[in-house]
Homo-oligomer: A and B are copies of this chain.
């Protein structure tokens, strides 16, 4: 049984950029040499999230439209009083969605559906460089 720690560095193009990280995760699994176990991908920032989606142009708009409906950008957030910034909605969206995902690895393969990709979603209001942590445990 081994533990492998790696990372996935991505440059996001600004708010609501949805980036398919499935291939990045598979590369990390290859590097780890672990054949059976789990991978935890964790985002150590409070304005981004990781989830799964069918990565096609329609949903890449539908999902942000949904977030804007339930957590609008332009309502008042008390967070702005603390820092005088503009990303209260980014924080609320990230706390709702959560910072990580845990996925099985079987026979060296990441488990996921054909129409199910793993994505990082930039929730902050500007371009950011994100360094996601990939922790793999198995044998």
Contacts and interface: CB of A to CB of B under 8 A. Distances in A.
A42 B92 CA distance: 21
A101 interface: yes
Contacts of A100: 101-103
A36 to B, nearest CB: 4
A31 to B, nearest CB: 16
A120 to B, nearest CB: 12
A24 interface: no
Copies in the complex: 3
Contacts of A133: 104, 106, 111
Interface string A53-65: 1101111011100
Contacts of A105: 135
Interface in A70-92: 70-71, 77-83, 88, 91-92
A71 B112 CA distance: 24
Contact of A82 (B5, B56, B103, B137): B56
A38 interface: yes
Interface of A: 1, 3, 5, 36-38, 40, 42, 44-46, 51-54, 56-59, 61-63, 66, 69-71, 77-83, 88, 91-92, 94-106, 111-113, 115-116, 133, 135, 137-139
